[in-house]
Amino acid sequence: MEVMPGKQKNINIYIYDDYVYHVDSRYNNIFRCNKRRVTKCRGAVILQGDNSVRVLEEHNHPRSNFVKEQIEMKEEMLRLCRTTYIDFKEIFDSICRSNPDAAQYLSFPAIRCNMQRARVHNQPSVPDTLASLCDMLENYYLLEALSSATEIYVDGIFSVLPRKPHIAQLYSVHMRYMDTGIATLFILCDVRTATMYDVLWDKIIQLIPQLKENINFIMSDFEMAAIKSLSTKFPRAKLTGCWFHFNQAVLRKWRKLRLSNVPKTILSMTMALPLLPPDMFQEALFIIQAETDLLSSEYPDILQFTSYLRLSWSNMASRISTYGCPIRTNNIPDST
């Protein structure tokens, strides 16, 4: 009879003649079939004084082929899940290739949950506070690269936030090197206020004093608190909004007004606004308004869209225009 660790801590299973047994809680030398609750199997054996095994009751189901090998393979899979970050399917396939005969009785969907639990159980606990998370993640190894940058691309990201602790946004700072975006800073923020951005940039400038003098171009989204802080901290830099974020904003408004059946001419013209020089912005709005008036009798809700353009964007030509900019979008963060 062979003894192997069971699924629960400090619980063993016993293998004899390709059947699996649990020790009887009343008699420590009697072992009963581990499938007795599922199959009503009365199979049992007794370990005698001379360490020989005698069958007390026969089983009502077939033997489990390669049962020892299956258990050993599962244990090795769980060990790799606890000690490495290799993909679960890759671990499963690798172990199965080592013993194809036993592997035919194993199912990846059946063991995947156990693999997930083994990996999660071995990971450190999730911090309760932002300060605790900072102690784990904080590092400054890319600041040297950022110290020589003349352009930065900043963005707030909301789709990849941890559930715990509470995080308002992931604020990213990228630089551009040989037309390639390089992530230099990721900052987890618990609020989104002008004061927070001021403190954030004060800290970054404290760590990289050269940044304030070197930066001559900044591209960001259109969050007013972030724009206000950047304008104050980098007065010499040209601050421009992102074409991608502008298009996102106007498309959301278009859909909110339920204009999906309206010809897309107005929407396309609006999305082209950032490509114009700032001094042509008002003229372009007049052209869009004229085209809108032609459609308004059939689609009256489209007038709400041009009203939105005037109220939200007409005074931001210098921020919206990407004319002459070295790059037109800061969508680098969204694609990393």
- Beta-carbon contacts of 181 under 8 Å, excluding residues fewer than 6 positions away, are 153, 174, 175, 332, 333, 335, 336
* Whether this model's pTM surpasses 0.75: no
DSSP 62-91: ---TTHHHHHHHHHHHHHHHHH----HHHH
Q: What is the pLDDT of residues 257-314, one digit of tens each?
A: 999 898 899 999 999 999 999 999 999 999 999 999 999 899 999 999 999 999 989 8
Beta partners for residue 182, in sequence order: 175
Mean pLDDT of all residues belonging to the chain = 87
| 165 preceded by a cis bond (ω within 30 of 0) | yes
- CA 293 to chain CA mean position, Å: 44
170, amino acid identity? L
Report pLDDT digits (tens) over 188-244.
888 889 999 999 999 999 988 999 889 999 999 888 999 999 999 999 999 998 899
Give the mean model confidence (pLDDT) for residues 21-36: 90
> pLDDT tens digits, residue range 125-158?
776 776 666 655 566 677 888 888 899 999 888 8
Residue 255 has what pLDDT? Answer: 93
pLDDT of residue 53: 92
Gap between the Cα atoms of 129 and 190, Å rounded: 10
